[in-house]
Structure 1
Amino acid sequence: MQYIAAAIAVFGASIGAGFGNGKVIAQTLESMTRQPEMSGQLRATMFIGVALIEAVPILGVVIALILVFM
């Protein structure tokens, strides 16, 4: 049962992060096409957002490891 719970935790975290990254990148590209003069600032903000979103699957893996080894 622990293995199934760990798999669900990693699966949910990775699906959520993939959806979140796609949304952030799509909206940033849309904003860059509307305001090209802001592209540098938008790109920097996008990288910060993507980094924060990528923290979610890492936490999911940590939770999965805790579930497996406890």
Structure 2
Amino acid sequence: MEGQVTIIAATAIAVGLILAAAGLGSALGWGLITSKTIEGITRQPEMRAQLMTNTFIFAGLMESFPFIVLALAMWFVFANPFLAGITG
């Protein structure tokens, strides 16, 4: 029983770190996407439409990243593969 509690506690900490890293990575990605778009528009205003189209495409990709990581983290929470190795 003690081993199972240890694995569950370690999994909870790991899931918290995974979700924090996903949030930080997504925030940094959003910041880079928008800053480079604004920078490109200020350099070449005539390219605004094309830059905005690319921004929305990349923003959609960036938005999907935390959800994929969330799904992986929830797999560890609800179907923890490390608990299968404990006999007792």
Q: TM-score by structure 2 length?
A: 0.76
Matched, 1:16 2:25: yes
Could you list the runs of 5+ residues in structure 1 that have no partner in the other structure? none
Structure 1's consecutive aligned runs of 4 or more residues displaced over 2 angstroms after TM superposition are none
Larger Rg: 2
- 2:47 aligns to what? 38
RMSD, matched Cα: 0.8
Could you list the runs of 5+ residues in structure 2 that have no partner in the other structure? 1-9, 80-88
- 2:67 aligns to what? 58
Query: What does the per-residue CA deviation read over 1:12-62, in whole Å, with 9 as the maximum and x for residues that have no partner?
Result: 111001001100100000000111111011001001111111111111110
Query: Secondary structure of the residue that 2:21 maps to in structure 1?
Result: helix
- 2:58 aligns to what? 49
- For 2:12 and 2:73, locate their aligned partners in 1 and report how far apart those are by CA, in whole Å: 8
- For 2:72 and 2:15, locate their aligned partners in 1 and report how far apart those are by CA, in whole Å: 7
Query: Highest relative contact order (Cα 8 Å, sep 6+), 1 or 2?
Result: 1
